[in-house]
Amino acid sequence: MGMLKKISKIVLLVMLVTAFSFAGSGSGSLPFLANAANAEAAVLYEEDFSGTTPADWAISSTGSVSGGALHIGDWANYHEQAIYGGETFTGPYSFSADVKASASSGNWNATRMLFNIQDDNNGYELIIGNKNDTAESNVELVKKVNGVDTTIANGVNYPLSKAVTTLQVVVDNGTISVYARQGSTVTTIIDHLSDSTFNAGRIGIGTRSAIVDFDNVRR
């Protein structure tokens, strides 16, 4: 009888551990909410575009706020963007936004996330093609120094698929990571790429010959 009780306890323990393991999977949680250094739970800056044009944002002429989102771009304009100038972010941090891109005919039409911006000629830019096709939804990470663009990561494909997608950039002690979430699925797009040319700067969102809705910008 004593042996049977021991076996029963072991089986129960295994069941509990298994249940706990499965409960933690597929939650759709992004790796960092606000601060990459100490996993700070608080969001340090957030803009949900629920009102009129928000303060401290420089928005291109094609941009407008309506329906609780920032609409940027058209098919004819190459680079359209909105830059938040209210604060310069430094140290380990994450920067995320919800995006919904209109379907396009090729990866030339793209969604852009800009970070550690120094000025018009210096900073980083994440570019994701909007085509609903894995083979042509190219991801490119570009570093601009003195007006010269250098691709520092590419070759990854991630279709935005006309779905609402949360894109997140994490800058952490000389590395850059990029994550994306659609529904409950989180995908690592760039994993701890080493580059520390710019360790602080402003953040922004934008398009390349495309139409994109942005919402819930968080730092």
Query: Dihedral through CA 118, CA 50, CA 217, CA 201, nearest 10?
Result: 20
What is the residue whose two structure tokens read 């069941």?
A: 15
Specify the CATH number for the domain of residue 209.
2.60.120.560
**Is 24 a domain residue?**
no
**Is 193 a domain residue?**
yes
Q: Give the structural domain span for 196.
A: 30-218
Supply 46's token pair.
């957030």
Look at residue 37 and tell me whether its pLDDT is greater than 80: no
| 5 pLDDT tier (thresholds 50, 70, 90) | very low
**Is 16 a domain residue?**
no
What pLDDT is recorded for position 194? 97
SS3 call for 36: coil
* pTM of the model as a whole: 0.80
**Is 15 a domain residue?**
no
d(CA 203, CA 123): 9
Closest by CA to 122, choosing from 150, 85, 87, is: 150
**Per-residue model confidence as pLDDT tens digits over 144-186:** 999 999 999 987 888 886 789 999 999 988 999 999 999 888 8
**Is 99 a domain residue?**
yes
Closest by CA to 170, choosing from 113, 122, 215, is: 113
**Is 12 a domain residue?**
no
Look at residue 99 and tell me whether its pLDDT is greater than 90: yes
Q: Total domain count for the chain?
A: 1
